[in-house]
Every structure is written in C-alpha cells, then in structure tokens.
Structure 1
Amino acid sequence: MVIGGTGLVGGYIVAHLQGRGGRPLVLSRTERTSPGIAWVRGDLRDPASLRLPEFATLYCTADAVLLAQALPHLLNPRLRRVVAFSSTSVLTKFDSQIARERQRMQDLIDAEEQIAAACRQHDVGWTILRPTLIYAEGRDSNITPLSRLISRFGFMPLVGSAGGLRQPVHAEDLALGAIAAADSPASINKTYALAGLETITYREMIGRIFDGLGRPRRTVPLPPALWRLMFLLAKPLFPSANVAWGLRMTKDMTFDAGPAVADFGWSPRAFHPVFT
C-alpha cells in the first residue's frame, strides 16, 4: 500500500514497485484507473471511512501527522512493515524565528513518536525516513522554484556568502531508499537521515541550478536587512516561503547518512540538475 502515491516521492515508489513486477495498492482521494495499479479511493483525513484490503507493507510519503492519526485504522493482521517519511527539518527548524514553523516541527516529532508507538503495540516493524532538500527537476517545491526565479530575473540574490552547507536529494533516490529499507531487517524500528551524495554550499547549489538552466552564474550577495526587502519582490514565486528561508542560507543543514548506507545500501546521486 502506498499513501501519497500521486505525489513526488510516492509516484516514484509506485513506479519502481511496478518495475519489480508488483501491483501496488495506491490510496487516492479521487477515482482513478491505470494499468498495473490497484487504486483504492479514500481520504487519509477521514481514516474511519477507509475500507482497505489487507496489505503487508505500508509506504507513506504523505504528511506524517496525518499518518499518525490514521494508523490505527490502517493496521491489519497481515501488516508487517511501515515505512514513513518525515523531514530533517525537525532538527534544523525546531528553533525557527517563525512560530508556525516551530509548531509544525513539534507536530512532526510528535507524529514520529506516535507512529513508532502504534507499530510497537501491534508488533509491526517501522522505519522513519527524514530526507534533506528534496528535488526533481520541474516538479519539486524546493529547487524548481529557484530555477524559475533565476529564469525570470537572470540572477539570484543571496544572504551574505550563502556558505551554509546543503545535501540536496533526488525524489527518485528517496523512493529507491524506501523500498530498500522495507526489504532490510536491519532498518526495522529505526529513524534515518537521507541526504544527497554531495555536501555543497548554498551558493554552489544555486550555481548548479544556473548550470542546469544553461545560464551563466550570476549571484548578488545581500546583507540580511536588504534581503528582507528583496524577499518581498520574490514572494509571488514562493507563496509558501517566509523570510527565514533566506536567512538560513548561511546555516549548515547537513546530516550523516552513514547508518542508511550500512543498513540498506543508501546510494543517492550527485546534485547536477538539468532543466529542459
């Protein structure tokens, strides 16, 4: 069963499960039909109404908070493994200056604990995956909006040196990692950070977006005060962003993916996006 199968990472999970000869069950709020997929209509926000066939493995790329609330309704006698996605932001944004972000991170942490507790209670092996900065050219909400900003203005404003470290990770690699984790006994009842192969500065990350667009690298360093003003101009391209996004350009956000490498062979690609 894949919850979030119409989304970025979940769509790749569905495709790769099909590629392995499976016919995954995929939850959808709307009626759908497609070859090789058993679509099940239902809404995770209304878990009591779900009428699902039994399944042995559950992948959830949807909001972990919703999964935590719905999991008691998803448990069935055949279920043996749950692989759920959270975020490394629970560690990088817990002290955000934005109260809404701090609350969101606390909600995610609570959800992780609830998922683990429910699985332990029913003898189901759980794995929680915390990705870093997720991208998939033209489809994600992290790197793609930056490419659009660069395409529109031809340059990218940065806060100071923008030397904060990042580890962008491709959505397809996350899907492959989730499937590998579900297959690995070593990953049972553990939480992992899933980082991209490379650790690069925010400035270099932006530079590679320029490269992927076939444009010369043009960045403009700004002091934090001026960044706040420039952010107002860019806000229409980033409707869900806040000013703290830019101020974090100087903050390191890196994680050790070594345990994931050891336990289920985590092997992500380097960050060289190509935009067509």
Structure 2
Amino acid sequence: MVLGATGAVGQFLLPLLVAHGEHVIGVSRDPQALTKAVEWLRGDLFSAMPQLPSVDVVYSLGPLDAFADWLPRALDAQARAPARAAPMRILALSSMSAQSKQESIDAAERQLAARLAAAEERLFACARERGIACTIFRPTLIYGAGRDASLAPLARFARRWHVLPIPRGASGLRQPVHAADLATACLAARDVSATFGNTYALGGGERLRFDAMFARIAEASCAMAVPVPLALVRAAARLARGRAPGAGALARMLLDLVADNAPAARDFGYAPREFVAADVPGPASAGATAIGAKKRQV
C-alpha cells in the first residue's frame, strides 16, 4: 500500500513495484484509472481515509505527522474487522528539516522540526507496540519529479524568463536527492533487518554550494545566471512579505545542509546519483530501475 502514490516519490515507486509483478494499492487524493497492477483508493490523511486493507507493506510518502496520527486508528479498526491482517513492514518519509530546522531563527520552522521529530517518535512507538518493523528516511532537498516547492519553481522561472538570479556568496553546501533514488531506497531497505527501527538521512550523490546549485539549474534551463548580492536578496525578501524566502531560509544559505549517506550505504547499498539539474523540472514520464524483491501485496 502506497500513501502519496501520485506524489514526487510515489510516481517513481509504483513502476518499480509493478515491474516486480506486485499488486499495488495506491492511495491518493487524486486516484488514477484502475489497472491490473494498481488498485487505486481515494484518501486524504487530513480528512477521509479508506479502511486499511490487508497488506504486507505500507509506504508512507506523504505528510509524516498526519500518517503517524492516522496509523494507530487504522490498525485498531483493522483489528476489529474479520479476516484482515496487519502490515508487517512500514517505510516512511520524514525530512531532514527535523534536524536542520531545530535551531532556526524562524519560529515556524522550529515548530515544523519539533512536529516532525514528534511524529517520528509516535510512529516508531506505534510500530513497536504492534510488532511492525518500521524504517524512517529523512531526505534532503527532493527533486526530479517537478513536484517540489524548492527547486522545480526555480527551473520553471528560468525556462520562462531565460534568466535566474543567483544569491552571490551563498556558500552553504546542499545535497539534493532525486526522487527516483528515494523510491529505489524504499525497495532496497524493505527486506533488510538491519534497517528495522532505524532512521536514515538520505542525500544525493553530490554536495555542491547553494549558489553553484542555482547556476547548474540556470545552465540546464538555457537561462542566464545573474549574481545578486545577498544583502539585496534579504531586502527583496522583506519587501515581498511571504512571497519570498523567510529569514530562516536566508540564513541557511550560508550553512551546510548535508546528509551522511554512509549508514544507508552500509545497511542497504544506498548509492544515489549526482545532481542532475536537467531533471529538476521533472521527467517526461516517471520510472526507475527495478531491483530484486519477492512478490507481495503492498
């Protein structure tokens, strides 16, 4: 069962599961047409969700806090239903924001970090109580599906206007991760017992400066890169009042926000690609390279 099946990571994960001959139940606010390989259910973690069916694995690719709130209720309701078996495995996406925004100067960002950390704790507690193996991923900047709110808008702006302002001196390191690599990680970790009960930071295969990342996006978009002093960026943000990066985001331009991929590489062979700026707007069609896995209901 895949929650957030039409999202950035979901649109890469579903083809992987289907390629292995697995029957997939996709849950989305905007379900797609029914196929032999994918059964679609309409659901929204913030409002109405379908009853949890009998599945072996649940992939949570949407808002973690909403999933952590919904799961105990769904499992309790499932236990009361005849002939319904609880899942034995959960893989869920959180965010590196749980760590990187803990001490942000922006109160809203600190609250987000606390909310994510609390959701992770609730999810692990729920899984332990019910004997479910759970793994949580904390990805860095996700790109590759054209659905993110960070890099994809930059690429669209650059393609439309053929120019992209670049914050001069924004030296903080970034490690953007392709959504397809996160989908592959879900499958790679699924059957590895060393991952049970663990949280993994997942970054891309390349670390680059914030301004260099912008420059790569501009080049891939056939746009002119225009360096802009950071002081001017801050002034413009104050004038924009909510339509531009906040104080916390501006401060992080000088900070390194990277992930240590070593634990994931050691435990389940995580090997993400380097930053592919041409993929930032999203692929023409989603897909990813399949990896070995036994057939099951998901």
2:213 pairs, out of 183, 194, 205, with 205
1:232-276 deviation digits (Å, cap 9, x = unpaired) = 5777xx858424323311111112110101111111111122168
Q: Does structure 2 retain, via aligned residues, the 8 Å contact 1:155–1:218? A: yes
CA distance in 1, matches of 2:219, 2:31: 40
Report how many residues are paired: 270
Residue in structure 1 matched with residue 74 of structure 2 by the alignment: 74
Equivalent residue for 1:84? 92
Q: Tell me the residue number matched to 1:245.
A: 249
Structure 1 partner of 2:39: 38
Is 1:227 equivalent to 2:233 in the alignment? yes
Q: 5 Å matches for 1:18-33? A: 18-30=18-30, 32-33=32-33
Relative to structure 1, is the Cα distance of residues 129 and 240 closer, same or farther in structure 2, using a 3 angstrom cutoff? farther
Unaligned runs of 5+ in 1: none
The letter of the residue matching 2:278 is V
Contact 2:170/2:210, CA 8 A, preserved across alignment? yes
What TM-score, normalized to structure 1? 0.90
CA shift at 1:31, angstroms? Answer: 5.5
- The question of whether the paired residues in 2 share the 8 Å contact of 1:167 and 1:197 is answered with yes
Shift of 1:52: 2.9
Question: Structure 2 vs 1, CA of residues 68 and 208 (structure 1 numbering), >3 Å: closer, same or farther?
Answer: same
Whether contact under 8 Å (2:97, 2:112) holds in the other structure is no
Query: Matched residues in 2 for 1:163 and 1:60: separation?
Result: 33
Query: What secondary structure does 2:33 align onto?
Result: coil
Q: Which has the higher contact order (CA 8 A, sep 6+)?
A: 2
Q: Which segment is superposed worse, 90-99 or 132-141?
A: 132-141
User: How far apart are 1:11 and its partner, in Å?
Assistant: 1.8
Unmatched 5+ stretches in structure 2: 79-84, 282-298
- Further displaced range: 105-114 or 138-147: 138-147
Please report how far the alpha carbon of residue 124 of structure 1 lies from its aligned counterpart in structure 2 after TM superposition.
Answer: 0.5
Supply the distance in 2 between the matched residues of 1:41 and 1:216 (Cα, whole angstroms). 43
Counterpart of 1:117, as a letter, is: A
Q: Which moved more, 1:126-135 or 1:65-74?
A: 65-74
Given the two structures, how large is their TM-score scaled by the length of structure 2?
0.83
| Contact 1:166-1:202 within 8 A present in 2 as well | yes
What SS does structure 2 have at the residue aligned with 1:128? strand
Asked if 1 retains the 8 angstrom alpha-carbon contact of 2:7 and 2:147, the reply is no
**Residue identity in the other structure for 1:56:** D
Instruction: Give the alignment's Cα RMSD to 1 decimal.
Output: 2.2
Alignment of 1:155 with 2:164, yes or no, is: yes
Shift of 1:214: 2.3
Counterpart of 1:94 (choices 102, 108, 111) is 102
Q: How has the CA–CA distance of structure 1 residues 163 and 184 changed in structure 2, closer, same or farther, with 3 Å as cutoff?
A: same
* Structure 1 match to 2:4: 4
Preserved CA contact (<8 Å) 1:157 1:222: no
Q: Secondary structure at the match of 1:205?
A: helix
**1:38, 1:241 → 2: CA distance?**
39
1:211 to 1:157, Cα distance in 2 relative to 1, 3 A = closer
The answer on 1:143 being equivalent to 2:168 is no
SS in 2 for 1:58: strand
Which residue identity is paired with 2:29? R
Q: 1:137 to 1:63 in 2, by over 3 A?
A: closer
> Residue type of the partner of 1:220?
V
Q: 1:144-172 deviations in whole A, cap 9, x for unaligned?
A: 112234343613141x5111011010111
CA pair 31-15 structure 1, distance change in 2 beyond 3 A: closer
Measured in 2, the distance between the counterparts of 1:203 and 1:157 equals 6
Secondary structure in structure 2 of the residue aligned to 1:91:
helix
Structure 1 counterpart of 2:53, one-letter code: P
